[in-house]
Amino acid sequence: MEKKYSFLIIGILLAAFAIYAYNYPPVKDDMEIKNTLLSENRESEPSKLRMGLIEEMVTNYRQTQLVSIENAPQNPVKDDSHSILFDLDTLKKFINDIERGVKEVEPSANPKLAIRLYYAAYPAKEKWYERGYEALGKFTNKEIPKLYERKHTIIMIPVIKTEKGIFADFNPFDKNTYNGFPKRMNKAMSLLRNPSDTTEIPALNHGELIPPASIEGEGF
């Protein structure tokens, strides 16, 4: 009989505790809440570099690579660009285009995507009017871009992490490239490559080069 009463009392206590917990759920203490908020803020903090480090790295480039370019024994590039400006809307659109292409081609896929930045240089001005160089020809009547000849620039290309774990350049709108473009030709074969190849892939270039654009606004 005593056991029955014991079980009954325990049952009543458990039911009462359940009702209390439902109506008054446990609340984190102030310290726990603060630590949670700090953790969330740490995850959302922007990437940062010390200004002194930025200054040193920019100076290193200008005193080494840039000097070598501008004083090369053959074909020096005087007053080569030392920075390139892309507006945020252009960058956002490029990223959105990459993601949109993958969603259209492989709706169920969730691959690791990236962007590769190739160092590059604009070709000689006389080529800008030839077939295959239309993207440059449209600059010939614009005051600053028409001075980009042979200057340092950047070309951005979409990148995907393949099944082999390799980050490969690819075309988000072409499934055949999702394991990378065909292997690059060796140096001897590349000399025979048609420079007027008009095959187009998603890529971003044409940031504002400084110089020839004004250095006003640069902090380094």
Lowest mean pLDDT across 2-6, 170-174, 181-185, 189-193: 189-193
DSSP-assigned letters across all residues of 102-116: HHHH-TT----EEEE
With vertex at residue 161, the alpha carbon angle to CA 155 and CA 163, rounded to the nearest 5 degrees, is 145
With vertex at residue 115, the alpha carbon angle to CA 114 and CA 117, rounded to the nearest 5 degrees, is 150
Q: How many whole angstroms separate alpha carbon 35 and alpha carbon 29?
A: 10
What pLDDT score was predicted for residue 192?
47
pLDDT tens digits, 49-80: 999 999 999 999 999 999 999 999 988 999 99
Q: Which has the closest alpha carbon to 117: 172, 155, 82, 90?
A: 155
In our burial notation (b when 16+ CB lie closer than 10 A, e otherwise), range 180-209 reads eeeeeeeeeeeeeeeeeeeeeebebbbbbb
Lowest mean pLDDT across 71-85, 116-130, 180-194: 180-194
Instruction: Count CA atoms closer than 13 A to 165's CA, side-chain side.
Output: 0
- Write out the two tokens for 42: 């740490």
Q: How many whole angstroms separate alpha carbon 220 and alpha carbon 216?
A: 11
Cβ pair 19, 11 in contact under 8 A: no
Q: Bigger pLDDT: 171 or 5?
A: 171
Beta-bridge partner residues of 157: 116
Lowest mean pLDDT across 24-28, 125-129, 144-148, 181-185: 24-28
Distant-in-sequence, close-in-space partners of 131: CB < 8 Å, separation ≥ 6: 196, 198
What pLDDT score was predicted for residue 131?
84
Tell me what the pLDDT averaged over the chain comes to. 83
Distant-in-sequence, close-in-space partners of 139: CB < 8 Å, separation ≥ 6: 128, 145, 146, 148
Lowest mean pLDDT across 11-15, 46-50, 118-122, 177-181: 11-15
What percent of the chain shows pLDDT beyond 70?
A: 74
- Write out the two tokens for 157: 């290309």
- pLDDT confidence bin for 191, thresholds 50/70/90: very low
> Residue 94 gets which letter from DSSP?
H
Lowest mean pLDDT across 12-16, 142-146, 158-162, 200-204: 12-16
Q: Which has the closest alpha carbon to 193: 185, 181, 183, 203?
A: 185
